[in-house]
Structure 1
């Protein structure tokens, strides 16, 4: 949805974005690397490289920066990084989809600080909203 992509650009700004290799591969080539951001790609393949990507082989290396960092996928990277996160920006899309990957469940140590209103995509009328979660201190 274009509205979600615009929100993603706004939230991640000029931050570092961390993603798994399959997430990198899923991005259309014309958008790789994501512009205006430091793109860090996690992979176990020590021979893998991509123009515009900083390649790391463990999550600790990906998160070892003073930059603002956003983990953008995939599912295993989300799950592994959640214990280090202090904020989650969630887009809820009002559709049922088949799939084998989902975002990790947030526990009781998370507080919903902004529950945006339901909106309708201008492309196909799909309902969506943005949620902003913060880890309790």
Structure 2
């Protein structure tokens, strides 16, 4: 299955200047728990936002640059090719950024979304989830605390 995983603000904000605009340690733990030991698909800018490749995951990076070859990654030039590189009977995760989410949406089976209950200034956005195409099947509210400045909700959507 192809699963998109993202965290967004109230207006589908993903981030600004290739960085997240919030810090939610529990969401990082959830991301790690869901994506570890799986293929992860991302754009070049998302990959370059990491200090190093994420451990215990196969990185598939989409780039238009023919000479782009980061160590330890598979590089391809389209979402279709990226998906074709993933094992058919295993979960693979699309992890961003905004352009890649838009390209991947037609191929996606499940969306794992963390909705941060605040509005942020951003330059990258997650695609709008159409209620005609997607059904919310799980929702888990989390309140702000000493480590989390905002309330947030984990939401799981499946394609209708």
SS in 2 for 1:61: helix
Which runs of 5 or more structure 2 residues have no equivalent in the other structure?
1-23
TM-score normalised per structure 1: 0.91
- Residue among 17, 32, 41 paired with 2:61: 41
* Regions of 4+ moved over 6 Å: none
Aligned Cα RMSD in Å? 1.3
Higher helix share: 1
SS in 1 for 2:141: coil
Q: How many angstroms does 1:121 deviate by? A: 4.5
SS in 1 for 2:81: helix
User: Which residue in the other structure is 1:58 paired with?
Assistant: 78
- Residues of 2 paired with 1:76 and 1:20: CA distance? 8
Q: Is 1:74 equivalent to 2:94 in the alignment?
A: no
User: Which residue in the other structure is 1:22 paired with?
Assistant: 45
Stretch moving more, 116-125 or 46-55: 116-125
Q: How many angstroms does 1:124 deviate by? A: 4.2
* Number of residue equivalences: 133
Higher relative contact order (CA 8 A, sep 6+): 2
Change (3 A) 1:86 1:80: same
TM-score normalised per structure 2: 0.78
Q: How many angstroms does 1:126 deviate by? A: 1.9
Change (3 A) 1:124 1:132: closer
